[in-house]
Amino acid sequence: MVRVEMAKWGQTLEDLRTAALSAPHQRSRERFQALYLIASGQFNATTCAAHIGRQDETVLAWLHRYNTQGPDALTYKKTGGRAPLLPRNRSDRSSRSSKIASRSSMACPATSGPSRSSGSTSSKPSAAAPAATPSAAS
């Protein structure tokens, strides 16, 4: 049977309970709650996993990680993920907004010009229609 080695890290059952209630991230709170339930004797690792809706291996991994690396090993740390679409620096934002402003001055006339539904027609002849010539009328 695997036990929570709280004494190794200078912690008590109350310390695990406090961490389960006050950890800043939900995942950390869940991990400390599982350790608290196991250490208090309410559950073993397998039944605790079923109780909180996790795989047995997951809870056992948390337990082994705590026993070997301490409580800091259970705190949630964001890793990986996609890079943000927009930069977070203000200096990057100001240079980006100036680029956007310069692009708007070079807007396409077809999309930014006067509306085509205004009803005005052009007096210029269409380039697609050939003009009639007098020599062809004879």
**Structure confidence at residue 128 as a pLDDT band (50, 70, 90):** low
Q: Give me the domain span that covers residue 11.
A: 7-74
Total number of domains constituting the chain: 1
**Nearest CA among 56, 19, 57, 58 for reference residue 36:** 19
**Nearest CA among 28, 27, 63, 26 for reference residue 48:** 63
Question: pLDDT value at position 53?
Answer: 95
User: Would you say residue 57 lies in a domain?
Assistant: yes
User: Would you say residue 82 lies in a domain?
Assistant: no
User: Would you say residue 56 lies in a domain?
Assistant: yes
User: Would you say residue 115 lies in a domain?
Assistant: no
User: Would you say residue 90 lies in a domain?
Assistant: no
* Least trusted range by pLDDT, from 50-54, 71-75, 121-125: 121-125
DSSP 50-106: HHHT--HHHHHHHHHHHHHH-GGGGS------PPPSS---HHHHHHHHHHHHHHHHT
Q: Does the predicted TM-score (pTM) go above 0.95?
A: no
User: Would you say residue 28 lies in a domain?
Assistant: yes
Q: Each residue of 1-51: pLDDT tens digit?
A: 788 999 899 999 999 999 999 999 999 999 999 999 999 999 999 999 999
